[in-house]
A and B are shown apart, each in its own frame.
Chain A
Amino acid sequence: MEEIITSRFSEELVKKVDQAVSKGYFKSRSDALRRMIEEHLREHPELFLGDGAKKILTEAPKLQDDELEALGSNLFKGLSVARLVAEGRE
């Protein structure tokens, strides 16, 4: 399904689009704008990100080094972190 949207563009921008159409890069103004928008969305994945990463950092408990070391001594007990990291790279 397609939807028609109305947008305003400066004369200068329209001129540039028309030039690209007349040179054969696009079939029409509509084709030019559609493809430019598609390309922009493909190249900017950040437009689709939520704030998950930010939330992890801001909501995580703020622990001091000695607390993290105590946590690590349990968490990594009997494990080699070097091997654990390497495993994740397999």
Chain B
Amino acid sequence: MTTLLYLDANIILARYAPDEPQHGEAKELLNTIENGETEAVTSVLTLVEVLSTVSRAYGRFRGGSMSMRREDVAGAFLRRVANIRNLHFIPLGGDVSVSFDEKSVELPAILAVALEIGAGTGVKTLDNIHLAAASIASRIYGHRIDYFVTLDEDILKHQKQIMSLAELKVATPAQIPPS
């Protein structure tokens, strides 16, 4: 069975950031995905994070004048990420009704899962949504996500809780065994 990975947004950006310590490993990982040796998924949230992270980096750019406009730079990264071969985007899902005492709230499936796992893991809100997307992906694909690949220090710090609550093995690109 092919390895199924969940990619955090920071892995995709690390592939294009030569100063990032695991740039080489991230690049290699993305190559194995595009070559079809590994299957990968990520949340649609990644698209928004790529765009906003690049846009913020543009705002901090101090290396002289940039010939491209901010929206073109951010859009160029977004366009490439949206077209990564064999990377599937997990949608937010249809609404489910969750009852709280007398009130019931309609919320996208992914947020319902985030409620299930969020309380116990102690990770940040958007990290939690990525974990929920990975959890939903394993249900969609019918087999467990082999690794939730990230460079996020907070997620890496909470990997034991994530394993016990969401059954997700957290790893950095350097920790993934070759497929």
Contact = CB atoms under 8 A, between A and B. Distances in A.
Are A and B associated in one complex? yes
Interface string B55-98: 01110110100101001111111111010000000000001000
Interface in A32-78: 43, 56-57, 59-63, 65, 68-69, 71-78
Contacts of B66: 74-75
Q: SS class of chain B's interface: helix, strand, loop or mixed?
A: helix
B10 A81 contact: yes
B153 interface: yes
Interface stretch (B110-118, B124-132, B137-145, B158-166): B124-132
What size tier do the contact residues of chain A reach?
A: 20 to 34
What size tier do the contact residues of chain B reach?
A: 35 or more
B68 A89 contact: no
Given A57-B79, A68-B76, A81-B14, A76 B71 contact: no
B124 A82 contact: no
Given A60-B78, A79-B19, A88 B73 contact: no
A73 B18 contact: yes
A61 B72 contact: yes
B13 interface: yes
Contacts of A77: 19, 63
B106 to A, nearest CB: 8
A41 B77 CA distance: 33
Q: SS class of chain A's interface: helix, strand, loop or mixed?
A: helix
Which of A43, A81, A88 counts the most chain B CB atoms within 10 A?
A: A81
A72 B52 contact: no
B33 interface: no
B53 interface: yes
Contacts of B63: 74, 77
Contacts of B54: 75
Contacts of A61: 68, 72, 75-76, 79
Nearest to A63: B76
A82 B153 contact: yes
A81 B21 CA distance: 10
The 10 closest A-B pairs by CB, nearest first: A60-B75, A72-B16, A82-B151, A76-B17, A89-B126, A81-B13, A85-B10, A60-B79, A82-B10, A81-B17
Interface of B: 8-10, 13-20, 49, 51-54, 56-58, 60-61, 63, 66, 68, 71-80, 82, 95, 106, 124-127, 151-154
Interface of A: 43, 56-57, 59-63, 65, 68-69, 71-82, 84-90
